[in-house]
Chains A and B, each alone.
Chain A
Amino acid sequence: MSLLSIKNLKARVEEKDILKGFNLEVNPGEVHAIMGPNGSGKSTLASVLAGNENYEVTDGEVTFDGKDLLDMDPEVRAREGLFLAFQYPVEIPGVSNVNFMKSAVAEVRKHRGLEPLEAKDFLKFMKEKQQLVELSGNLAGRSVNEGFSGGEKKRNEIFQMAMLEPKLAILDETDSGLDIDALRIVANGVNKLKSKDNAFVVITHYQRLLDYIVPDFVHVLYNGRIVRSGTKELALELEEKGYDWIKDEVAAEA
C-alpha cells in the first residue's frame, strides 16, 4: 500500500484554480522530486497537503497511511507523521526553540501513545539532531526563527523534521536562498534521515538540490497537473533545456 496516494486533486486559492487534477503515489522508502516552472502549483500542493485553510480543495482524494488526509486538521496530519519544511519558516518571538520543540514532540509522542521524554533525554535527543544540521549549541535558547539567517531557518526546518521523525516529509523549495555549503548541510541531514520506512517529496525549481538528494522519481508539474514523470535524468534534461519545451509539448498535445 502506498504511503501517500493523491487522486485527481483539485484546489483553488482566492477563486483561482491552481491544482487541476493532480495524481501521485508515494511508497515508503521513496524520494520524489516535484519540479516545475513558477506558478505551476508546487507550493499550493505543499500547502494543501499540510492543511492550510487558505486553500480550498474542490475535488479529489488524498489518503495518507490508509487514512483520509483531507478530513484531518492540520495538527492531526502533523501528528500522523506528515511534515512540511516551509519555504518561508515563520518567526515566533519570545518562544524558545527548546520550548517549541518540547511541546511539538510531546504532542506527536502522545498521538503515538508514548509518554513525553524526560527533560534530560529530550535535551540529549535535541543535541544529537542539532549536530545533524550543524546548528550551534545555543539554538535551544533562541526564539523560533527570530533573527535567523536564511540558511539557519532552512536548517532549523530540517532539524525540526529530525526531531519529529515523520513518515512523510515535504520539502517546499528548501534549497531556495541557500548557498552551496548550507545546501550540502541540509541535503546531508535529509540523507541521514532517509530510511526504508519514510518518504520524501522534494519540491524544487532547480536541479541543483537533486545532486545531493537523489530522487527515485522526478515529476514535472505544469498548470496544476503532472505532465511528465521519469527518473533523475528527467531533472538533468530540464536543467539543460529549461521548462519551455515541456510547455510546448503540453500545448501541442492539447
Chain B
Amino acid sequence: MAEENALLKEFTEKEYEYGWSIDIEADQLPKGLNEDIVRAISAKKNEPEWLTEWRLKAFRYWLTMEEPTWAHVKYPKIDFQDIIYYSAPKKKPEIGSLDEVDEELLATFEKLGISLEEQKRLLNVAGSNVAVDAVFDSVSVKTTFQETLREKGIIFCSFSEAVQNHPELVKKYLGSVVPYTDNYYATLNSAVFSDGSFCYIPKGVRCPMELSTYFRINAMNTGQFERTLVIADEDSYVSYLEGCTAPQRDENQLHAAVVELVALKGSEIKYSTVQNWFPGDKNGKGGIYNFVTKRGICAGDYAKISWTQVETGSAITWKYPSCILKGDNTIGEFYSVAVTNNYQQADTGTKMLHLGKNTKSTVISKGISAGKSNNSYRGLVRIGKNATNARNFSQCDSLLLSDTCGAHTFPYIECGNKTAKVEHEATTSKVGEDQIFYCNQRGLDTEQAIGLIVNGYCKEVLNKLPMEFAVEAQKLLSVSLEGSVG
C-alpha cells in the first residue's frame, strides 16, 4: 500500500507533456468583448451580413444571460473582458501540399505527436485513412486530402471557408441543433466563434477516411471558440475525430466550443474526441476551462449518431454530448472515458432525447478519478410521449485511484411513454491491491499494472475509437495516470 500511495503521489506530480508554446506571429484583436469586437471578428472573416447579424443577436442575448452554476465544479468567476477573442497566425498557409505550411507550425504538430507528415505517411504506407483539419488558436490552418474527398463530393474544410464557399449549407444548418439561445457558453460561442471545421457528406456516400480536427490554444489570454458542423445527408456515413492540446500557462484559459451534428435519414455519424487540454499543474494552478456544447440530431428515420470521448485534460470539463432522436428507429450512443487527476474537475455525461418511435440509446460511461480530483457523471434520458417502444441502457462505472478523490453520478430519467424500457446500472470500485500484486508477481511494476488495469476497465469504450486513435488514447491514459503514461 505504501508503494501504491507513493506511486499515486507520483501521478499527482505528473507534469503536462504538451505544455510548450511557440512564437508564431499572431494577428490579434484587443482584449475584451462588445459589439465592435463581434463586428470586427465577422469583418476579419469577410462574412456575409446575415452571419454578422446572427452573431450580434447571439451577443445581445448573451448579455441577458447568467453564468450557470448548477454543475458540480468550482472555479473563480471568469472575467470575460480579459480575454482575447480573436488570434490568428499571421502567415496563413495556403491549402495544398504540406510543404507550404509554416515550418514552426509543422514543428508544433510534430511535438503533438500527431504530425500531418505522419498522417500523410500513414495514408500512403499503411492504407490508414485520416484527413486532418488543424485549428490553431482561432483559425483553421490546414486541411489535408482535399482532393480525395472532393472526388466523392465530400466537403471538409474550415468553417470560414464553408461560409465563403457553401453559404447555403451553413445558413441552413448553423444553429439548427444548438440554437444561439441555447446556453450561456453556446450563446457566447455563437457571438464570437472564430473558426472550426465544416463537413458535409452527400447522399449515399460513405466517407472513405477518418476526418480529423486538431485544436490547439497557443496564444496567451486567448479563448478558443470553435464551431464544428457536420452534416450527413441521407444514407451516408462519416467517422470524425477531434483532438485537443494547449500550452501550459499559469492563468486559466477558456474553451467554449459548439459542435452540431445533423444526421439525415439512414445516415450515420461517429464522432470521437480525444481531449487533452492542459489540466493545470499539480497544485491546481492554470489549465483549460472546457465548457463545450455538443449535440447531434438524428433528423430522419434510421439515422444513427455515436459519441465516443476520452477526456484526460482540462482543469474543468463541462460537457454533455447529446442526441436528439427525432426520426423513428434512430439510434444514439455515448461512450465515455473521463480521467481526472490532481485538482481536475469533470462534470460530464450525455442527454438522450427520445422523440421518435422505436428509438434506441446506449450510454457507457467510465470515470477514473485520482489525486484530489472530482469526477461527475450527469446524464438525462428523456422519453417523449410519442416515443413508443423506446429503449435505453445506461451504465456508469467509477474507478477510484486515491482516497482523496470523488466520484459522483447524477442520472436523470424522464419517461413519458409507458412502452419504454429504461435501464440504468452503476458501479464504483477501487483498483484492487490484489490485482496490482498479481501483476507485480508476473514481473510488471505497479505503474504498468495500473496502466493495464485502467485500460482494461475502459476497454468497452476504447474499442469504439477508430483504430488509429485507440492506440493514442491508451497511451494518453497511461500518461495522465502513470506519471509517465498508461
Q: Name the interface residues of B1-15: CB closer than 8 Å to any CB of A.
A: 1-3
- A19-27, A50-58, A175-183, A234-242: which lies at the B interface? A50-58
Measured CB to CB, the residues of B under 8 A from A are 1-3, 432-435, 437-446, 448, 452-453, 455-460
**Alpha-carbon distance A95/B453, docked complex (angstroms):** 7
**Alpha-carbon distance A51/B3, docked complex (angstroms):** 12
Give A91's nearest chain B residue, CB to CB: B435
Contacts of B439 in A (CB 8 A): 92, 100, 104
Select A108's contact among B437, B440, B443, B457, beta carbons within 8 Å: B443
Contact A53 B1 (CB under 8 A): yes
Contacts of B3 in A (CB 8 A): 53, 73
Contact A73 B445 (CB under 8 A): yes
**Alpha-carbon distance A193/B289, docked complex (angstroms):** 57
Contacts of B432 in A (CB 8 A): 90
Q: Is A147 an interface residue (CB 8 A)?
A: no
A159 to chain B, nearest CB (A): 12
Contact A94 B443 (CB under 8 A): no
In order of increasing CB-CB distance, the 9 nearest A-B pairs are: A94-B456, A95-B456, A94-B459, A74-B440, A107-B443, A90-B438, A104-B442, A78-B443, A75-B440
| With A52-B437, A90-B434, A92-B438: A164-B460 Cβ-Cβ less than 8 Å | no
B464 to chain A, nearest CB (A): 13
| Total interface residues in chain A, CB < 8 Å | 31
A69 to chain B, nearest CB (A): 13
Select A86's contact among B438, B446, B453, B456, beta carbons within 8 Å: B438
Contacts of B438 in A (CB 8 A): 86, 89-90, 92
Q: Is A198 an interface residue (CB 8 A)?
A: no
| With A53-B3, A103-B448: A94-B455 Cβ-Cβ less than 8 Å | yes
27 A-B Cβ contacts within 8 A?
Answer: A53-B1, A53-B3, A53-B437, A73-B3, A73-B445, A75-B441, A75-B444, A77-B441, A78-B441, A84-B441, A89-B438, A90-B432, A90-B437, A92-B435, A92-B438, A92-B439, A92-B452, A92-B453, A94-B455, A94-B457, A95-B456, A100-B442, A100-B452, A104-B439, A107-B442, A107-B443, A160-B442
A1 to chain B, nearest CB (A): 24
Contacts of B443 in A (CB 8 A): 75, 78-79, 104, 107-108, 111, 164
Select A74's contact among B2, B437, B458, beta carbons within 8 Å: B437
Q: Is A40 an interface residue (CB 8 A)?
A: no
The 0/1 profile, CB within 8 Å of B marked 1, for residues 68-103 of chain A is 000001110111000110100111111100011001
| With A92-B435, A100-B452, A103-B448: A50-B441 Cβ-Cβ less than 8 Å | yes
Interface centre among B432, B443, B459 (most CB of A within 10 A): B443
Give A111's nearest chain B residue, CB to CB: B443
Contact A107 B456 (CB under 8 A): no
Q: Name the interface residues of A139-196: CB closer than 8 Å to any CB of B.
A: 143, 160, 164
B300 to chain A, nearest CB (A): 36
Q: A92-B453, A94-B458, A100-B452 are in contact. List 17 more A-B contacts (CB 8 A).
A: A51-B441, A73-B440, A74-B441, A78-B441, A78-B442, A90-B432, A90-B435, A90-B437, A94-B456, A95-B455, A99-B452, A103-B444, A104-B443, A107-B444, A108-B443, A160-B442, A164-B443
Give A79's nearest chain B residue, CB to CB: B443
B106 to chain A, nearest CB (A): 32
Contact A94 B460 (CB under 8 A): yes
**Alpha-carbon distance A75/B457, docked complex (angstroms):** 22
Contacts of A78 in B (CB 8 A): 440-443
Contacts of A73 in B (CB 8 A): 3, 440, 445
Contact B452 A53 (CB under 8 A): no
Give B3's nearest chain A residue, CB to CB: A53
**Alpha-carbon distance A7/B58, docked complex (angstroms):** 79
**Alpha-carbon distance A86/B440, docked complex (angstroms):** 13
Contacts of B1 in A (CB 8 A): 53-54
Contacts of B442 in A (CB 8 A): 78, 100, 104, 107, 160, 164
Contacts of A77 in B (CB 8 A): 441
Contact B444 A53 (CB under 8 A): no
Contacts of A84 in B (CB 8 A): 441
B60 to chain A, nearest CB (A): 50
Contacts of A93 in B (CB 8 A): 456-457
Interface centre among A75, A78, A83 (most CB of B within 10 A): A75
Select B445's contact among A75, A95, A99, A143, beta carbons within 8 Å: A75
A74 to chain B, nearest CB (A): 4
**Alpha-carbon distance A143/B452, docked complex (angstroms):** 12
Contacts of A95 in B (CB 8 A): 452-453, 455-456, 459
Give A51's nearest chain B residue, CB to CB: B440
Give B366's nearest chain A residue, CB to CB: A94
**Alpha-carbon distance A111/B442, docked complex (angstroms):** 12
Contacts of B2 in A (CB 8 A): 53
Contacts of A74 in B (CB 8 A): 437, 440-441
**Alpha-carbon distance A143/B458, docked complex (angstroms):** 13
**Alpha-carbon distance A83/B443, docked complex (angstroms):** 9
